Structure 1
Amino acid sequence: MTKTNPGRFFEDYILGQTLRHAVPRTVAEGERALYHALYPARHALYSSDEFAISCGLDGSPLDDLLAFHTVFGKTVPDISLNAIANLGYAQGRWLRPVWPGDTLRAESQVIGLRATSNGQAGVVWVRTTGLNQVDEVVLDYVRWVMVRKRAPASPAPDPVVPDLAPAVLAEDLIVPEGLSFDAYDFDLAGEPHRWGDYAIGEVIDHVDGVTITEAEHMLATRLWQNTAKVHFDATHRPDGRRLIYGGHVISLARALSFNGLANAQMIVALNAGAHANPCFAGDTVRAWSEVLDRADTQAPGVGAIRLRLVATRGDSAAAALRGPDGTYLPEVLLDLDYWALMPL
């Protein structure tokens, strides 16, 4: 009897099943240091205890995307070990900060299944919940992934595609307890631009770029304990190239957005997201953002801003998203819609 795990194939998923993912992880200042080394992450709330304390928190929490990657990595052996591609995200919310010393684990429920028309694979939708050491939910989100079938001739389940809201409602955003931007220090944050300085429809070219290398990608993917074969095994794809983990592109783009959105301090919701095209080592990632909406919150001095973050390869920042046929242009890597908290 084999003791190794070949990973789940599309036939192994059952609508409604719950997966408790292995190996909880305690995160600490080491993860923060590595995260800031891998990405040009500079948002003040996640960089300085003193800045965070001045904003009403007990200290600096760990980066919101660090928490996301840690929870996501827990799910890979059960959901995307045999993935062809991670396709998208929806209905994500950060419900409480993650602090150094917290232990994170993850559970997922299968909420949708649909075989592809060629019979070689299927799309699996899951709702993943990340919990801390006292079983408080720190974040949850929906994602869908294309997974290989074990046998192309195996019968397909009746298709079930979940009905997903296009965005998290502003009134459903969770502001961390105690957060206040009434005494916000714009000089230390790095830019003077307030919530009211951004107009709906405004597009911000973040100017800078980062060229991805194999070394940093492999370090990042191992850091999040993401074991998907497409990221590690160069023989797993016909072109012989290792696919860059989509979350790596998300964090690069978010860090690049500091130039123009330094005061969009905390991500609190993930409305929608698509990895539009594959990314490989050698690609230079650039980013631009579009302001989609703004909303008030009940927290002192805190507003919510809804942003579309687009990552591209090469010199195509602040360019078009789609071609005449409605599909993403080949240089578009990421199309992400999220809510962030910003001082009024």
Structure 2
Amino acid sequence: MKTNPGNFFEDFRLGQTIRHATPRTLTAGDQTLYTALYGARFAVQSSEVFATTAGYPAAPLDDLLVFHVVFGKTAPDISLNAVANLGYAECRFLKPVYVGDTLAAQSEVIGLRENSNGKTGTVYVRTVGLNQHGEQVLSYVRWVMVRKRDEKAPAPAPAVPKLGGRVDPSELGLACPAIDRAGWDDALSGSACRFDDYRVGEKIDHADAMTVEEAEHQLATRLYQNTARVHFNQHAEAQGRFGRRLIYGGHVISLARALCFNGLANAFHIAAINGGRHVAPLFAGGTVYAWSEILETAELPKRQDIGALRILTRATRDLACASFPTEDGAADKPGVILELDYWALMPRA
């Protein structure tokens, strides 16, 4: 067979290693298009001058652009026959990525569990993103619901990996050079609030919102070379569960991150994602809002320049966040669509 039908649930094997096609060299154009899609305004990724003054050798590419490109490499092998991406854990950003770097990806299957309906199963993979030098720039676990080719195919013995609840603060900051706190210009970064100004339990309504259009979420997903059918094929999806194309969950993550600028402007780098969950789907025409809660603050070993905030950001569909809404379990009405638990770095006072 010349064409690739993608892997179905019964094609995966515990311990299987998959090298994904194709390597991708990232350019300034990729960063510009990413900014056009989400409106991210964080100063380190926006300004070469700001980044080099702060301590970087050049402006790094947006952390989530890196995540999505590595994720997209895995889609033809892991997600082509997916129903939905379900969650993330143990995600660590290990090295900064700059314009001109080339990224590749490989995954190991670390868990399999057939679902009770017998039509789908959940596949757990650990994926690493590698630069042109073979260095790991990103590592994460995700789990995805995948269709079975043959519903009568025997199910493998269930194996669900035990995953950490959070990335330890001692592992943070590997992708962040020493930051010159005196050279960090709060006026240009967009906020005078630094690490020491945030408190555990604090809640922030990010106030702004973005409505998603059909063309832009498909353009974004193509930018990452993510080929999952549920995002593109309306002819097929019209007969499916929702009757329309499903927006890539990573698109929601990037929208929420961009909205977080209003309230977390100095959270310049996502160092790790502890966990993430797509609570409910998003479709074109929906408007995304977001709010965040500070779960934890951490001083980093041997780092006086930065601290880490553990942030839980919730994104909602068609629901403003002034009242800080949480999940209500109703996927068919306005409410929470994403919960993302992550560590972000901030300069200290």
Normalized against structure 1, the TM-score is what? 0.96
Report the more deviating stretch, 118-127 or 171-180: 171-180
C-alpha contact (below 8 Å) 1:210/1:286 kept by paired residues: yes
Counterpart check, 1:80 vs 2:79: yes
C-alpha contact (below 8 Å) 1:321/1:329 kept by paired residues: no
- Consecutive unaligned residues of structure 2, counting only runs of 5 or more, are none
Q: Percent identity?
A: 57
Find the counterpart in structure 2 of residue 239 from structure 1: 242
Output the amino acid matched with 1:299.
R
Output the amino acid matched with 2:247.
I
Find the counterpart in structure 2 of residue 304 from structure 1: 308
Find the counterpart in structure 1 of residue 179 from structure 2: 180
Using the alignment, how far apart are the partners of 2:144 and 2:288 within structure 1?
23
**What is the CA RMSD across the aligned residues, in angstroms?**
1.5
Using the alignment, how far apart are the partners of 2:228 and 2:58 within structure 1?
34
Find the counterpart in structure 1 of residue 214 from structure 2: 214
SS of alignment partner, residue 113 of structure 1: strand
User: How much has 1:320 moved relative to structure 2?
Assistant: 2.9
Q: Could you report, residue by residue, the CA deviation over 1:91-125 in whole angstroms, capped at 9, with x for unpaired residues?
A: 00000000100000000000000000110000000
Report the more deviating stretch, 48-57 or 25-34: 48-57
Output the amino acid matched with 2:285.
G
Find the counterpart in structure 2 of residue 226 from structure 1: 226
Output the amino acid matched with 1:52.
A
User: How much has 1:59 moved relative to structure 2?
Assistant: 1.1
Using the alignment, how far apart are the partners of 2:253 and 2:327 within structure 1?
19
Find the counterpart in structure 2 of residue 137 from structure 1: 136
Using the alignment, how far apart are the partners of 1:168 and 1:211 within structure 2?
32
User: How much has 1:33 moved relative to structure 2?
Assistant: 0.4
Counterpart check, 1:314 vs 2:318: yes
Using the alignment, how far apart are the partners of 1:239 and 1:163 within structure 2?
32
Using the alignment, how far apart are the partners of 1:95 and 1:328 within structure 2?
38
CA 1:244 to 1:54, structure 2 compared with 1: closer, same or farther past 3 Å? Answer: same
SS of alignment partner, residue 21 of structure 1: strand
User: How much has 1:218 moved relative to structure 2?
Assistant: 1.1
Output the amino acid matched with 2:153.
S
Output the amino acid matched with 1:262.
A
SS of alignment partner, residue 5 of structure 1: coil
Output the amino acid matched with 1:209.
A
Report the more deviating stretch, 60-69 or 169-178: 169-178
Of 334, 341, 348, the residue aligned with 1:337 is: 341
Find the counterpart in structure 2 of residue 282 from structure 1: 285
Using the alignment, how far apart are the partners of 1:130 and 1:342 within structure 2?
24
SS of alignment partner, residue 35 of structure 1: helix
User: How much has 1:3 moved relative to structure 2?
Assistant: 1.1
Find the counterpart in structure 2 of residue 190 from structure 1: 190
Using the alignment, how far apart are the partners of 1:328 and 1:132 within structure 2?
41
Output the amino acid matched with 1:199.
R
Find the counterpart in structure 1 of residue 9 from structure 2: 10
Correspondence list, 1:25-36, <5 A: 25-36=24-35
- Consecutive unaligned residues of structure 1, counting only runs of 5 or more, are none
Report the more deviating stretch, 311-320 or 97-106: 311-320
Using the alignment, how far apart are the partners of 1:226 and 1:177 within structure 2?
28
Find the counterpart in structure 2 of residue 164 from structure 1: 163
Using the alignment, how far apart are the partners of 2:96 and 2:249 within structure 1?
23
Using the alignment, how far apart are the partners of 2:119 and 2:243 within structure 1?
20
CA 1:327 to 1:4, structure 2 compared with 1: closer, same or farther past 3 Å? Answer: closer
Find the counterpart in structure 2 of residue 155 from structure 1: 154
SS of alignment partner, residue 21 of structure 2: coil
Q: Could you report, residue by residue, the CA deviation over 1:204-223 in whole angstroms, capped at 9, with x for unpaired residues?
A: 00000000001111110110
C-alpha contact (below 8 Å) 1:181/1:302 kept by paired residues: no
Using the alignment, how far apart are the partners of 1:169 and 1:21 within structure 2?
29
Q: Could you report, residue by residue, the CA deviation over 1:47-76 in whole angstroms, capped at 9, with x for unpaired residues?
A: 111111111110101000000000000000
C-alpha contact (below 8 Å) 2:325/2:335 kept by paired residues: no
